[in-house]
Amino acid sequence: MSRKKIIAGNWKMNKTPSEAVELVNTLKPLVQNPDVDVVYCVPAIDIIPVKKALEGSNVHLGAENVYFEDKGAYTGEISPAMLKDAGVEYVIIGHSERRQYFAETDQTVNKKLLKLLENGFRPIVCCGETLEQREAGITMDWIRMQIKIAFHGVSAEEAKGVVIAYEPIWAIGTGKTATAAQAEEVCRGIRETIADLYGTDTAEAVRIQYGGSMNAGNCKELLAQPDIDGGLIGGAALKPDFGTIVNYNK
Ligand code: 13P
């Protein structure tokens, strides 16, 4: 089965609304590749201006987080309905930075995943190990646990539409990319985990991204791996380099 590649930028806490519009306009001519789904996951306050700036372009809009309740007394949070109304399609959940700094857990990721699916979003579920876990030889045990908890209660049909991002924590923002072989090994393990849960049809449909210091120089080799269906890009998504990544096959 051929899965369409998905290259998503995670802008993290970068770009004010006016800077965000400027970046969209700079990147616009550089990110046109019909072979790739291109997504910008942007800070909540940038969503509305970026949506407007993206009009007529091939780029899909994403958010970096969501809350798992529909509405109510949750000061500072953003609901699925708010994101939907603003034109968001993709939502990142479970990023390691949210786990590390904002107490995100596998259980809250699971609640968010169920809520996103209930509301018709395309979730991007992040997983990844620390350096200590890798050195202890428990990478795949850890990732399997993260995936199994995140997908608890998700049907096979729903799972097909979920994007999984494998982001080794030691590779995020460090310039230290996983080798193509290391990234492929875990992405294949994730696909096997999905196959254990849902069968091979679902596993073959699910798209799995690699993230962690992916850049214009290393993207080609990473994206050539059979189980790596795209990238989740941090730093390089804020630069014209993002266009080179999107056009990795040209
Ligand atoms: P960097 O590409 O900056 O390493 O960030 C990766 C990431 O965390 C994307 O979600």
Mutate to test the pocket of ligand 1, among 10, 65, 242 (most ligand atoms within 8 A of CB): 10
The stretches in the chain having pLDDT less than 70 are 1
Residues designated as active site: 95, 167
The residues lining ligand 1, judged by C-beta closer than 6 Å to any ligand atom, are 10, 95, 167, 172-173, 211-214, 232-236
Give CA–CA dist 167/182, Å, rounded.
11
CB 17 within 8 A of CB 42: no
What share of residues in the chain are helix, strand, coil (percent, to 5)?
Answer: 45, 15, 40
Expressed in angstroms and rounded, the spacing between residue 172 Cα and the centre of ligand 1 is 5
Q: What is the pLDDT of residues 222-236, one digit of tens each?
A: 999 999 999 999 999
Q: What is the pLDDT of residue 1?
A: 58
Q: What is the pLDDT of residue 176?
A: 86
Q: Give the pair of three-digit tokens for residue 17.
A: 């609304």
Q: What is the pLDDT of residues 43-53, one digit of tens each?
A: 999 999 999 99
CATH code at position 19: 3.20.20.70
Kindly report the protein residue whose alpha carbon is nearest to atom 7 of ligand 1.
234
CB 190 within 8 A of CB 208: yes
Which residue segment(s) compose the domain that 130 sits in? 5-246
Domain count, the chain: 1
Give CA–CA dist 185/208, Å, rounded.
12
Q: What is the pTM of this model?
A: 0.98
11 Cβ neighbours under 8 A, 6+ residues apart: 20, 40, 41, 42, 43, 46, 64, 237, 238
